[in-house]
Chains A and B, each alone.
Chain A
Amino acid sequence: MPSKENRHAHEVESEFTNLPILARERLWGAFDFTSVMTGLGIATWAFIVGASTALYVGAEAGIASTVIGNLVSCGLVVLAACIPTAKYGVEQATLFRSVFGVNGARVVFLIAVTLVWLGWNCVLGLMFSRSAVNIVNAIFFTGIGRNSLVVTLLGIVGFLIAWFVVVKGPVSIKWFNRIVAPGLAVVTILLLVFVLAQRPWSEIAAAPALEPFGDRTVNYTLGIELGLATGFGWWGVIGNLSRLASNQRVAFYGSMVGLFLFAVPAYVAGLLSALALGDADPTAWMVPVAGPVLGVIALLFVAFANVTSVTSTVYTTCLALRLTGGRLFHRMAWVTVTGLFLLAPAIAAFFPAFVFNSIANLLAWSAIAFAPLVGIHLVDFYVLRRRVLNVRACYDESPGSGYSFWKGWNPAATVGLGVGALVYILLLNPSSFAHADVFQFVSASIPALLVGGAVHFILTKLIVQPAGKGDYGALERPGS
């Protein structure tokens, strides 16, 4: 039995590495886990996504499409990412070897997750600095521009704060979220109250979308598609947080409450504010809507909300990087990995206008990968493996490992991902939003998810299982 000191060292250590979490090390009960997920869900990106929806649909269709898209995608992504990681206490990149193989999981995480969250951290840093600039402008009656050098410098300050917090680990992230998450919920409610108090509902409901396409159904489906993309975008990040949840029920409902129930009002607040004020920049709404005092307080919470989201995403992505990035990242100090990860967003802070104008593209491009990945993950865990994994095989990188497949690659999942992504692109161009006729009835993410999962299932039955690869016949065993 390890001494108390050693036991403490192991407990801390496991939070920073891909070591499996033991029962006594699960940090987060229902309240804390829900707070963390709420802090993740309610960030300025929620307001930005709402404002993006306002480009295509008005208030009522926007609310409906936001609820539908996020409910469907959050339910699916939480089942795919949170339940397996919570069950086994293993972080997602490691557990995902059971689906893609050792090398496949590494490539998927390095490309999809790291790049997408790098992109979102650029946006969050920009929102932090623009909030700060708006605070300064409101208090000192200055006229600092949205894309000025001050915005860049304040963005870098935001990343330094986030770096300090994330280096302290999940305990500090938990306390940070305990303070900021409730404050953000208040900001969201206040934003909704003030917008609705200043403009009658009938006026907001009648406000036209900002840049709609010509067809009403296409616009509505685009709204749903943005909601789907938002939800599926959680795939790479939430699994590493839910592995610290005390049980699967906490992981599932805590995630749904944080990422859907509390986040959707923030999306709606963004949607209605953008429609009412005709401005897609959330940091520009607070002072005009709530006045200088409450507006500045709201901006303070919005600024810190971005830092909470940066800390959560950097923690979880860097944890994955340490595993998937090979020996270089594995041996690197935690402070160095997180610092390097934040370096790219810090550089991007020098190009605020470019970052802000690329948000919609970032959302659409991320769905190309995440929608089929969620489908493949669901089929593999729930249908093919009946919710039973071999934890030891997840850590075994030898050629004889149950999850080595062929030289560390599972062709079934890889082809499924490729075909799913192709289906998405054929239905919706993520850069121009040009779309096939059938898109308005089926969206792009849902077909990509279904096709990706179906291809994975069929190829697994035809090729992988007959070849005896992938340990698909595993029975419930100790450690499973």
Chain B
Amino acid sequence: MASTDGGASAGDQDPRGEEAFERELERRLGTIESPEYRDPAREDLPLSEMVVFTILSAVVVVLVHLWGY
């Protein structure tokens, strides 16, 4: 089933799989470490956004507690 979707990974019942995996891993690490590599996911959530979220959560906790307990 896996092979029909290309789902077999490096290493699937393939004696050369581990070698292929290492080669692919090295290729990817090389790409990631390249100065030209850009990934929008690397941009951290701003601290201010996390603080606002924390404050809002605290407000919800207090209000819900006062209502429910």
Contacts and interface: CB of A to CB of B under 8 A. Distances in A.
Interface of A: 8-10, 12-14, 16-17, 19-20, 22-23, 26, 60-65, 67-68, 71-72, 75, 79, 83, 86-89, 164, 167-169, 171-172, 220, 245-249, 251-252, 322, 330-335, 387, 391-392, 395, 477-479
B25 A12 contact: no
Given A83-B45, A249-B45, A13 B69 contact: no
A334 B12 contact: yes
B57 A71 contact: yes
A61 B37 contact: no
A119 B57 CA distance: 31
19 contacts: A12-B6, A12-B7, A13-B9, A19-B24, A23-B38, A23-B40, A67-B68, A68-B65, A88-B41, A168-B5, A246-B40, A248-B43, A248-B45, A332-B12, A333-B2, A333-B12, A477-B33, A478-B33, A478-B37
B6 to A, nearest CB: 4
B67 A20 contact: no
Contacts of A334: 2, 7-9, 12
Contact of B7 (A72, A168, A247, A387): A168
B1 interface: yes
Which 6 pairs across A and B sit closest by C-beta, in order of nearness? A64-B68, A479-B33, A23-B39, A12-B6, A16-B9, A17-B9
Interface string B8-36: 11111100011001001100110111110
Contacts of A387: 44
Nearest to A250: B41
A229 B8 CA distance: 35
A333 B8 contact: yes
Contacts, number: 141
User: Which of B33, B54, B69: most chain A CB closer than 10 A?
Assistant: B69
A400 B2 CA distance: 36
Contacts of A395: 25, 29
Nearest to A330: B11
A8 B65 CA distance: 51
B10 to A, nearest CB: 6
B38 A167 contact: no
B-side interface size class: 35 or more
Given A169-B7, A247-B43, A331-B13, A61 B61 contact: no
B52 interface: no
Contacts of A172: 5
A162 B38 CA distance: 36
Contact of A13 (B6, B44, B68): B6
A209 to B, nearest CB: 13
Contacts of B31: 22
Nearest to A17: B9
Nearest to A251: B41
Given A61-B69, A63-B68, A247 B40 contact: yes
B28 to A, nearest CB: 5
Given A61-B69, A64-B67, A71-B60, A169 B29 contact: no
Contacts of B51: none
Contacts of B38: 23
Contacts of A246: 40-41
Contacts of A79: 50
Contacts of A331: 11-13, 17-18
A83 B68 CA distance: 32
Given A20-B29, A331-B17, A64 B57 contact: no
Contact of B41 (A10, A26, A479): A26
B67 A479 contact: no
Nearest to B49: A249
Contacts of B12: 331-334
Nearest to B41: A247
A335 B17 contact: no
Given A19-B21, A63-B68, A87-B44, 11 more contacts: A9-B6, A19-B10, A61-B69, A64-B64, A169-B7, A220-B69, A332-B13, A333-B8, A478-B33, A478-B37, A479-B29
A17 B2 contact: no
A183 B47 CA distance: 36
Contact of A89 (B34, B39, B43): B39
Contacts of A9: 6
Contacts of B32: 20, 22, 391, 478-479
